[in-house]
Structures are given as structure tokens and as C-alpha cells.
Structure 1
Amino acid sequence: MISITNLSYFIGGRALYENANMFIKPKDKIGLIGLNGRGKSTLLKIIDGEYTIDAGSVSKSNDCTIGFLNQDLLSYQSDDAIVTVAMEAFKEAVDTQRQIEQLLHKLETEYSDEMVEKLTNLQEKFEQLDGYSMQAKAEEILEGIGFTTQDLHRPLREFSGGWRMRVMLAKLLLEKPSLLMLDEPTNHLDLPSIEWVENYLRNYEGAVIVVSHDRYFLDNVTTKTVEVTQGQLITYEGNYSFYLEEKELRKEIQNGAYENQQAKIRQTERFIERFKAKATKAKQVQSRVKALDRLDLIEEVVDDTAAVNFRFRFKQQPGRYIITLKDVSKAYGSLEILKNSNATIERGDKIVLIGANGKGKSTLLRIISGTEPIEGERALGYNVIQGFFAQHQLESLKLDNEIIEEMKQAGSGKTEQELRNVLGCFLFSDDDQYKKIKVLSGGEKSRVALAKTLISEANFLLLDEPTNHLDFISENILIQALQQYEGSFVVVSHNRHFVSQVANKIWYIEDKQIKEYPGTYDEYEYWRKQQAAITTAPVKTQVTPKVEKKQEAPKNDNNQNRLKSLEKEMKKVEGDMETLQKQKETIELNMTNPSIFGNFNELQKLQQELAIITQKLEVVNKKWDELAETIDTL
């Protein structure tokens, strides 16, 4: 479908790509990965035709259509309702509908057979274009990615940038291009919406290229991974997890080949050095010199992992309780976020706050920080010093400061060498540390702001979407820093890998209450799926079976004997149903006990018992149905 051959693209004197190759086939699901600044977004713009290449070719099949979701769409504005904006994907059908409406309006004052015939033809065309279902399709996708039914007819202009980006995503999905290119789509989606998009893209009929730093998303969507590295496009025939394993294997092979070649080169150079002055060896020396010149050099393996070896300490230890919220209520007009809710953050808590957008996560973070007015009580614990990180703090960085100057202004009291060590942990080399803030990318600014937050004397951190704009290496650095951080924190994040690595408690808002799961994200996900399975399981309430009388079949001894046997068996089954139902109710009652709910091992044991009882109950219910049907027939 698309063939990229010997692609070269230069920015100034630097080669972003040099003789790079890549092939996109129909139905490919490709994850495009690489460090920030390596050219991932640039490659998408090259494929889209926005950028002109310096050498090589980008060939597309004649029937190839491209849909491109990129960050530039954040600035798109419109006074139209979002469902109308999304329906622009059906351009021909929308134009036909407009012509029909104009013609109907005209027919109110003018009438002719010619106009009626034209109207009939337009209506047939509209039906062929599936125009009567386009609004339903647009509404389904918009609601799938998080909009409420009430939102659909609100003007696009009323929504924030992230929500406008969702509308653009919906429009692209409705267009169904043969190649869908998505640049960081999960930055603007909450967890339910991410899961919906994952499912949609897995079943998408065309090809997909995704630039993302969400490894769960890549694993769930992609079947091929292309890494942008050292000006090349390296293809791996699998998802991100496959890429990690395969890359490690390739690195071992490449490293072995590199070391063997280097040993051979050193041996050859020693021979040349030893015998270059001897006339008798001149021919052999010359031969080896030419062999070295012709040698295809194997590149040294570049280790693109990074480890944090700096411990983020603070002087003041807080008391046992960090924050206590008591009978907290918060509403915006008629919209209630919290109602008489209680929660406590204790020393050592590593809390991640998850859930759909619009449920009040950012509001709760501001309530915890003390910057949001509330009804109820917020009590700050003894010796608690808090630090806050949010994306808007990138704007508070002083653009004319060098990075090292900006770090000094964090007020941590650390020496310049200590600050340089911290910046080294955050991938800023010695030379980089003297760069001005204004020349940094979004990801680099995020790293500076995060480093400033972590080196402060705060023993309690609040972090709002800290992984946005971070590549995999930077995200890994933040994970390590938070794992080593000796204080407490609350993080809002939709990045499932990040959440799974840093949390020891999960918070979510449900029924206007702050709910807590006392375990890791993976444990929470297992529990959530178990709860969903229990809720949706078709369990019958035990009642005395009532068999309606039908016209009696002719009586005979065999029928009577069989009927008695079946009725006896049914009584036994009913007894089993009653026993299992009581066991189920007992387990469910135990699971609501606060002492058990706070004990993950005990809770998991009860969940397993409940799953077994529920399965047995289903079997017994099915048996009862079969017996009742047979008895009814007899």
C-alpha cells in the first residue's frame, strides 16, 4: 500500500533519516516508537505529504486514503455541534442532505415534476450513501470515547483542547481511511475511552500507525513495531512486548558480532603496525590495509536504558496521617462531584487516582492540595510539606533560564553538583544542562518540571498526568524516581503501565464517594473483572418452582414411575440450589466486612470461593430448567 525506500531527510545539517526503508501493507497495525526528537511525528508528516524529503521515495497505491490525527488539530475551532463536526466525515452524504433540505424548502413555494424527480434521485443517492444512519454512527463513536448524550449538541468551541481532539478522532474513525495515523491519541483519553479505542482499532479494516508511549495500548492494538533509531526504521514483527524481547536478542547478537569484528580489527592493525617497515611483508601489509578500508563496520550497541541512582530525600518526616477528608461535599451548580465523602492518606501511601474524565479526579486533587473550596473538613497532618506537579507548570518555567539555573531556583538547598547529578538522572548531559528552557521540547520541559518537583523538600507529592509527553526512557526514569521516593504521593494518570509500577493503593470516585482499593493496579484490575463477572452472571433467585398444568397426557405406569423419579430428583436439586444460594449470600456479606475488604489475601480467597459457588449455582439452575421442562412435557 505504501513503500518508503531509501528515505533521507535533513534538519539543518543533521540527518533525521538516512537511507531508511519501511513498508506498510493493508491491515497492518504498526506501533511507531523511539526516543523524543528522533523523528516519529516527522515521519507521519512525510507520509501525509506535508514535508518534502531530501532523497529516496514514498510510493502510495492509487486507492490509498490517509487520515491523520496530530497535535495541530488542537487549535481547530467551530461553532457547530460536535455531532455535526463528526458527521463531516460523510462529506458526500452531508452535501446530499443539504441539497435535499434546500429542495424541500423550495418545493413549499414552487412545484414542478422536474423538481420532484430531482428530489427522488437525491433521496435515492442519500440512501445509497447510508445517510440515514450517519448520525447514529457519529453518536455511537462520540459516546464510545467519553461524550455524554447531552454533550453531542453542544458547540465544539465550548470544549477544551483535549475534548476537541476527541471529536477530531471520532471524525477520522468515521471517515475510515485505508491508513489511519494517530500521534499520541491516548494523551487526551481516559481509561474507559482508551479501552474503547483499543477495541475499535483491533477490528479496524484498514491499516493503522500509532505513535504512543502507552505500552499497554501498543500491546493491545499493534501487531508490528517500527523503531526509529540512528536515522533508520527497524521493523519487528510483533507488538511492543515482542519488540522488547526481540530487541534484547538482536542486541546480544549484534554485540557479539561487534566485539568479534573489533578484535579482528585490532589484530589486523597490530600486524600492519608490526610489519609496515619490512619490505618482505609489504604486499601482505598493503592487502590488510585495503581489507580494513573495505570492511563494513558493525555499529556498537547503544544502551538506551537509563537508571536513577539518586535518592530523593527530605529533611522533615511527617506524622502518620498526611491528609484527612471528613464529610467532604463538592458541587458545581447542579453537578455533584462528592457528597459527604471521607478519606484518609497515611504516611507511605502511594495512591493512584483513576477513572473516566468528568468524574472529578482533578477536582479531588485540588481538594487534597487545599486549593479548592469545599463543604466539610480537610485536615493537614503534622509536618506535611506538599509539592504539586501539573502540565500547566511547564508554562511557569522561565524561558530565558538555563536548565541548571532553573533547578537552583527550586529552593531545595542542594549544591550545584547534586543538581547536576539529578539532571543527569533525567537524561540531561553536561552540555544539555546549560541549554535555555525556551529551546527545549515539550518532553524535555516536563522532565525539568518533574525534577524540580522531586528535589523539593516536599514529603507529600501531588502529580497530575506526569507521563504526558514523556518517551519510554523518561517514563522509566520517573517510575524509578517514584519507587525510590521515601514520601507519600497521589497521582492522576491514565497510563496503565506507569500506574501498575508505582501504586500501592487505587482510588476512584463512585456514587459521589471516594472509594479505595487496598492493593496494586494489577490486583485492582483482577478484582474489578471478578466483580463485573459476578454482577453480569445469570443467577436465579431460589423460589419454589411452579409448573403450570397443561392438558394431561394419557396416563400409563411407565410415565407415572418416571414422573415420580423426576420429581424426587427435582426436590434434591432445589435443596442444592437453596444451600448454594445461602453460601453465596454469606460470602457476599463477608466481602463487605471492612476488616476483610482491607485484607487483599483474604478478599482474593473469598472471590475465588464466590466464583466457584456461582459456577455451581449456574449448573444447578440449568439442571432445574431441564427437569422442569421434562416434567411439564410428561
Structure 2
Amino acid sequence: MISINNLSYYLGSRALYENASLHIKPNQKIGLIGLNGTGKSTLLRLIIGEYQPDGGNISKAGDCTIGFLNQDLLSYQTDDSILSVAMQAFERQNELQKRIDELLHEMEVNYRDELVDKLGKVQDEFAALDGYSIQSRAEEILEGLGFSTDDLHKPLRQFSGGWRMRVILAKLLLQRPSLLMLDEPTNHLDLPSIQWVEKYIQNYEGAVIVVSHDREFIDNVVDTIVEVSGAKLNFYAGNYSFYVEEKALRNEIQQGAYENQQAKIRQTERFIERFKAKATKAKQAQSRVKMLEKMELVDAVIDENARVNFRFNFSQQPGRHILHLDHISKAYGDKVILRNTTARLERGDKVALIGANGRGKSTLLRIIAGGEPIQGERRLGHNVLFSFYAQHQLESLHVEDTMLEELKHANPTKTEGELRGVLGCFLFSGDDVFKKIKVLSGGEKSRVALAKVLLSQANFLLLDEPTNHLDMQSVNILIQALDQYEGTYVVVSHDRYFVSQIANKIWYIEDHEIKEYPGTYDEYEWWMQEKKSAVGNGQARSGGPAEAKAKKDDSPRPPAASRNDGPPLPHATDSERKEWQKALKKANQQAEEAEQQITNLERQKKQLEAELSKTDVIADSKKLQTKTDEYSRVNKQLTQLQETWENAMLEVEEWEKKLA
């Protein structure tokens, strides 16, 4: 469908792409990943022709259509209703509808057979293009993206940038292009909308390229990962989880090859140094010099998974109670956000506040920060110092300051070396720290603002969508920082992977009340699924995995003699028990060895699957046959080893029963 061949593109002297190639197939779902600044958005603009390559070419099939969602569209405004804007996707149907209206109007005053024939033809084409259902399709997609029925006829101009972006996304989805390119589509979506878009993309009949920092979203919608790294496009035939495992394997192989080559180079250099002056060995030494010159060097593996170590110093330790919200009510006119609700925060609580947009999550954060008038009582505990991060607060950065100066405002007690260390944790190195705030991108400003919050010596953090505009590496750094943070925080986020890593409690707003789930996000998800399932079955259930486990552990156990089937085993002698223990140990060893071999073979299998999907292998019948035979051999070995493992585990179980 689209073929990118030997693409080169330069920013000044820096190569964003150099002889990079990629083939996009119909229905392929691609996750385009890479560090900020590696050129992901640039590649999308090269594909649509907005930028021209410096070398190579991008060819498209004649019938290929492209839809491109990007952050530049946030500025689009009009007085047309959002339903009208979305329905602009149906260009031909709209033309036909207009023509039908004109013909009907003309027939009211001048009824002629000729007009009836024209109307019939236009109506036939309109029906063939499914014109009578376009409004219901547009309404379905807009409501799936979070708009209420009442919103559909409101002017686009009334909505914020994030909501306008949803309208543009709806329009693109309705156009159904051959290739849908989405640049950070989840930045302005709440969790229910993200889940709706996931299902839509999974069932989308065209090809999709997604650039996103949302790891779980990428994992759920793509079947291919293309990594931008080293000015190349690296292909992985699987989702993000597969990519993580496969990249680790490739890195391990590459690092081994690099170390072996370096050892060989050192040996060769020692030979040359030792024998270059000896007449009898000079010829051999010279041949080795030529060999080194012709050697194609293997690159060392660059670890892109930054690991950081933050040192948080609180100027004062808080008491046990961090926050009391007692009988809080909040409304904007007729719109009720909270009604007579109560909540508590204790020292060490790591709370994720989740849910759909419009429920009042950001309002609740402002209430906690004391920035909203309310009915009821808000009390901070003893010695509680809080710091608040939100996207709009990026505007409060001092644009003429350098990054170092900006961090100095947050914590004047830190030395320049310590501030450089913190900026280094957020991927700013060398002379970057002297850049002025005004020249930074949105993502870079976000990282500076987050660094300021973490430096503030606050023992209570309020973070509103902190992962917006961060790439995956920066999100990983934030996760590590919050993991090392010993204070208390409340985080609003729609990034499920991020939330699953940082929260030990979940808050959500339901029926205008703050509800709490006392566990991790994964446990909360399990609990919600069980709850929905129970409601569907007409049963009442409560609790999550932790509660279920506790109930199971507390349930009465059968007497020891009745735990195994059959009568109690006769008393064994000491020598018999020793023999059984030896047999148990041997069976365990066999199981462990088989398991290790299975792990190795499964790794080989994944590697072969990746190789079998490569274009150069598919195109070469001899190479394809070799890889296919090797794949069959590995599969056969896997089957045999799995049987060996199962038999060994059955033996382990039998010996354990005897020894019980």
C-alpha cells in the first residue's frame, strides 16, 4: 500500500533518517515509537507529502487515501455545530443531499418528468453511498468519543481544544481512509473514550499508524511495532509487550556480537603490534591491518531505559492525617459536581483519581489545593506542604529563565551540581540546561515543570495529567521518581499503565460522591469486571482479588487425612522417606531443566516468527524454506519438552503426596 525506500531526511547536519525503509500493508496496525526528537511526527508528515525527503522515495498505491490526526488541529474553530463538522467527512453524500433538496424545491413550482428522472438517479446514488444513515453514524461516533446528545448541535467554537480534537478525530474515522495516522490521539481523551477508540481501531478495516506514549493503548491496538532509532526504522512483528521482550533479546545478541568482535579486534591489534617489525611476520601483520580496515563494525548496545535515583528531602515531616474532606458539596450553577461527600488521606497514600471527563476530577484536585469555594470543610493535616502540577501551570514558567534558573526558584538550597543531576534524570544533559524556557517544546516544558514539583520539598503532591506530552522514557522516569517518593500524592491520569505502576488506592467520582477502592489499579479493574458481571447475573458481589484471597484463606480446611483422594497412606520408614526425597529432588531437577529449555526454545520461536515476517525473507524462497524448516523443528522440540515437563511435574506431585 505504501512503500518507504532508503529514506533520508536531515535537520541541518543531523540525520533524522538515513537509508530507512518500511512497507505498510493493508489492514496493518503499526505503533510508531521512539524517544522525543527522533522524528516520529516528521515521518508522518513525510508520508502525507507535507515534507519532502532528502533521499530515497515514498510511493503510494493509486487508490490509497490518508487521514492524519495531529496536534496542530487543536486551533481549528468554526461556528458550525460539531455534528455538521463531523459530517463534512461525507463530501459526496453532502453534495447529493444538497442536489436532492434543490430538485425537490424546483419540483414544487415546476413538476416535470425530466426532474423526476434526475431526482431518481440522485437518490439512487445517495442510497448506494448509504447516505440515509450518515447522520446516525456521525452521532454514534461522537457519542462514543464522550459527547452527550445535547452537545451535538452546539457550535464547535464553544468547546476547548481537547474536545475540538475529538470532533476532528470523529470526522477522520467517518472518512474511513485506507491509512489512518494518529499522532498522540489519547492526549485529550478520558478513559472511557480511550477504550472506545481502542475497540474502533481493533475493528478498523484500513491500515493504522499510531504515535502514542500510552503503553497500554499501543499494546491493545497494534500488531506491529516500528521503532525509530539510530536514523533507522526497526520492525517488530508484535505489540508493545512483544517489542520489549524481542528488543531485549536482540540487544543481548548484538551485545554478545559486539563484545566478541571487540575481543577479536584487541587480539588482532596485539598481533600487529608484536609482529609488524619482524620480517618473517610482516606480511601476516599487514594482512591483518587490511582485515581490520574492511571489518564491518557491530555497534554497542545503547541502553535507552533511563534508570534514575531521586533524593527527596522534606523540610518537615507531616503527621499521620494528610487531608480531611467533610461533607463537601460543589456545583457550577445547575451542574452538580459533588454532593455531601467525605474523604480521607493518610500519610503514604498513593491515590489515582480516575474516570470520565466531566465528572469533576480536576475540580476535586483544586478543592484539595484550596483553590475552589465549597460547601463543607477541607482540612490539611499537621505540617502538610503541598505542590500542585497541572498543564495550565506550564504558562507560569518564567520564559526568559534558563532551566537551571527555573529549578533554582523551586529549591534555592540545591547546588548547581544537584540541579544538573535532577535535570539529567529528566533527560536534559550538557549545555541543554542553559536553554531558555521559551525555546522548549511542550514535552520539554512538562519535564521542567515536573522537576520543579519534585524539587519543591512538598510532602503532598497533586498531579493533574502529568504524562501528557511525555514520551515513554519520560513516563518511565516519572514512575521511578514517584516510586521513590516517600510522601503522599493524588494523581489524575487516563494512562492505565502509568496508574497501575504508581497507585495503591483508587478514587473515582460516582453519583456525585468520592468513592475509594483500597487496592491497585489492576485489582480495581478486576473488581469492576466482577461487579459488572455480577449485576448482569443478578447477583451481589463485593471486594477485589485481595478480598477474594482473604476469604479463600479464611475458609475451613478439610482434615489432613482427607486432603488427598483415597485412604491415608501407611506410615513410611526413614529409609523409604529418604528414597522418596531423592526421587522428588530428581523430578524437580528434570522439570527445571525442561522449563529452562522451553524458555530458550520459546525465545527462538519468537525470533523466527519475527524473521519470517521480514520482507527480504518472504521474497527469498530458499531463505523462507530454511527458516520454515527451522521453525518446524523448534515447534517439534517444544512439544516434546512440554510433554517431558508435564510428566516430571506429575512425578513431583506424586512424591510430594507421599511425603505429605
CA distance in 1 between counterparts of 2:462 and 2:116 reads 66
CA distance in 2 between counterparts of 1:375 and 1:109 reads 64
Matched residue, 1:30: 30
User: Aligned AA for 2:76?
Assistant: Y
When structure 1 is superposed on structure 2, of 142-151 and 435-444 the one drifting more is 435-444
User: Aligned AA for 2:330?
Assistant: K
Matched residue, 1:444: 444
CA distance in 2 between counterparts of 1:204 and 1:60 reads 20
State the TM-score, normalized to the length of structure 2. 0.82
Matched residue, 2:59: 59
User: Aligned AA for 1:601?
Assistant: A
Contact 2:350 2:505 in 1 (8 A): yes
Matched residue, 2:385: 385
SS at 1:413's partner residue? coil
Give the alignment partner of residue 546 of structure 2, picking from 601, 606, 612. 601
CA distance in 2 between counterparts of 1:404 and 1:20 reads 37
User: Aligned AA for 1:602?
Assistant: E
CA distance in 1 between counterparts of 2:412 and 2:385 reads 13
Contact 1:313 1:486 in 2 (8 A): no
User: Map of 1:42-57 to 2, 5 A cutoff?
Assistant: 42-57=42-57
Contact 1:530 1:607 in 2 (8 A): no
SS at 1:84's partner residue? helix
User: Aligned AA for 1:460?
Assistant: F
User: Aligned AA for 1:416?
Assistant: E
Matched residue, 1:260: 260
User: Aligned AA for 2:440?
Assistant: L
The 3 A distance-change label for structure 1 pair 604 and 190 is farther
User: Aligned AA for 2:154?
Assistant: R
CA distance in 2 between counterparts of 1:116 and 1:84 reads 29
* CA offset digits 1:514-568 (Å, max 9, x no partner): 100011101100100000000111x4xxxxxxxxxxxxxxxxxxxxxxxxxxxxx
SS at 2:127's partner residue? helix
Matched residue, 1:324: 324
User: Map of 1:181-580 to 2, 5 A cutoff?
Assistant: 181-537=181-537, 539=538
User: Aligned AA for 2:531?
Assistant: Q
Alpha-carbon shift at residue 359 of structure 1 (Å): 0.8
SS at 1:135's partner residue? helix
User: Map of 1:99-118 to 2, 5 A cutoff?
Assistant: 99-118=99-118
SS at 1:279's partner residue? coil
Alpha-carbon shift at residue 386 of structure 1 (Å): 0.8
Contact 2:66 2:179 in 1 (8 A): yes
Alpha-carbon shift at residue 153 of structure 1 (Å): 0.9
Alpha-carbon shift at residue 414 of structure 1 (Å): 1.7
Matched residue, 1:615: none
SS at 2:109's partner residue? coil
User: Aligned AA for 1:367?
Assistant: I
* CA offset digits 1:288-322 (Å, max 9, x no partner): 22211111111110011111212222121112222
Alpha-carbon shift at residue 600 of structure 1 (Å): 6.8
Alpha-carbon shift at residue 190 of structure 1 (Å): 0.6
User: Aligned AA for 2:194?
Assistant: I
Contact 1:312 1:481 in 2 (8 A): no
User: Aligned AA for 2:279?
Assistant: A
Unaligned runs of 5+ in 2: 556-660
> Does the alignment pair 1:130 with 2:121?
no
Alpha-carbon shift at residue 197 of structure 1 (Å): 0.7
Paired residues, what number? 555
Alpha-carbon shift at residue 394 of structure 1 (Å): 1.8
Contact 1:313 1:485 in 2 (8 A): no
CA distance in 1 between counterparts of 2:324 and 2:552 reads 30
Contact 1:311 1:481 in 2 (8 A): no
CA distance in 2 between counterparts of 1:76 and 1:108 reads 39
Contact 1:310 1:421 in 2 (8 A): no
Matched residue, 2:85: 85
CA distance in 1 between counterparts of 2:339 and 2:403 reads 44
CA distance in 2 between counterparts of 1:280 and 1:112 reads 108
Matched residue, 2:653: none
Matched residue, 2:119: 119
User: Aligned AA for 2:456?
Assistant: S
* CA offset digits 1:264-307 (Å, max 9, x no partner): 11122222222233333332222122211111111110011111
When structure 1 is superposed on structure 2, of 222-231 and 339-348 the one drifting more is 339-348
CA distance in 2 between counterparts of 1:336 and 1:102 reads 46
CA distance in 2 between counterparts of 1:314 and 1:412 reads 14
The 3 A distance-change label for structure 1 pair 188 and 609 is farther
CA distance in 1 between counterparts of 2:464 and 2:108 reads 57
CA distance in 1 between counterparts of 2:352 and 2:102 reads 54
Contact 2:526 2:545 in 1 (8 A): no
Alpha-carbon shift at residue 439 of structure 1 (Å): 2.5
The 3 A distance-change label for structure 1 pair 360 and 608 is farther
User: Aligned AA for 1:123?
Assistant: Q
* CA offset digits 1:81-121 (Å, max 9, x no partner): 11111111111001111121222233333333322322222
> Does the alignment pair 1:152 with 2:152?
yes
The 3 A distance-change label for structure 1 pair 207 and 381 is same
SS at 1:431's partner residue? helix
Alpha-carbon shift at residue 425 of structure 1 (Å): 1.5
State the TM-score, normalized to the length of structure 1. 0.85
Contact 2:312 2:457 in 1 (8 A): no
Q: CA RMSD, aligned part only? A: 1.8
User: Aligned AA for 2:183?
Assistant: D
When structure 1 is superposed on structure 2, of 310-319 and 140-149 the one drifting more is 310-319
CA distance in 2 between counterparts of 1:516 and 1:481 reads 24
Alpha-carbon shift at residue 605 of structure 1 (Å): 5.2
Alpha-carbon shift at residue 426 of structure 1 (Å): 1.5
User: Aligned AA for 1:498?
Assistant: F
Unaligned runs of 5+ in 1: 540-583, 592-596, 611-634
* CA offset digits 1:28-84 (Å, max 9, x no partner): 111000000000000011111111000011111111111111111111112111111
User: Aligned AA for 1:253?
Assistant: I
Alpha-carbon shift at residue 608 of structure 1 (Å): 12
SS at 1:378's partner residue? strand
CA distance in 2 between counterparts of 1:331 and 1:106 reads 52
Matched residue, 2:171: 171
CA distance in 2 between counterparts of 1:89 and 1:229 reads 35
Alpha-carbon shift at residue 607 of structure 1 (Å): 10
CA distance in 2 between counterparts of 1:257 and 1:506 reads 46
User: Aligned AA for 1:101?
Assistant: D
Matched residue, 1:3: 3
Contact 1:412 1:456 in 2 (8 A): no
Fraction of identical pairs, as percent = 67
Matched residue, 1:561: none
User: Aligned AA for 2:394?
Assistant: L
User: Aligned AA for 1:408?
Assistant: K
Contact 1:4 1:23 in 2 (8 A): yes
Matched residue, 1:542: none
Matched residue, 1:69: 69
* CA offset digits 1:147-187 (Å, max 9, x no partner): 11111111111111111111111111111111111111111
When structure 1 is superposed on structure 2, of 511-520 and 312-321 the one drifting more is 312-321
SS at 1:228's partner residue? strand
User: Aligned AA for 2:3?
Assistant: S
The 3 A distance-change label for structure 1 pair 178 and 608 is farther
Contact 2:527 2:545 in 1 (8 A): no
User: Aligned AA for 2:286?
Assistant: Q
